[in-house]
Chains A and B, each alone.
Chain A
Amino acid sequence: DTGVSQDPRHKITKRGQNVTFRCDPISEHNRLYWYRQTLGQGPEFLTYFQNEAQLEKSRLLSDRFSAERPKGSFSTLEIQRTEQGDSAMYLCASSFLSQGYGYTFGSGTRLTVV
Chain B
Amino acid sequence: AQTVTQSQPEMSVQEAETVTLSCTYDTSESDYYLFWYKQPPSRQMILVIRQEAYKQQNATENRFSVNFQKAAKSFSLKISDSQLGDAAMYFCAYRSPRSGTYKYIFGTGTRLKVLA
Contact = CB atoms under 8 A, between A and B. Distances in A.
Contacts of B106: 42-44
Contact of A101 (B45, B50, B93, B101): B50
Interface string A79-114: 000000000000101010000111101111000000
B44 A102 contact: no
Interface string A55-75: 110000000000000000000
Interface string B88-114: 000101000001111111111100000
Contacts, number: 56
A33 B103 contact: yes
A35 B4 CA distance: 16
Contacts of A95: 102
Contacts of B104: 35, 43, 45, 103
Contacts of B43: 107
B45 A105 contact: yes
Given A43-B104, A102-B47, 19 more contacts: A3-B44, A35-B104, A40-B109, A41-B108, A41-B109, A42-B107, A43-B106, A55-B100, A56-B99, A56-B101, A100-B33, A100-B50, A101-B47, A102-B37, A103-B104, A105-B37, A105-B46, A106-B44, A107-B42
18 contacts: A3-B44, A40-B109, A41-B108, A42-B4, A42-B91, A42-B93, A42-B109, A43-B106, A45-B103, A48-B101, A48-B102, A48-B103, A56-B103, A101-B50, A102-B37, A103-B47, A105-B37, A107-B43
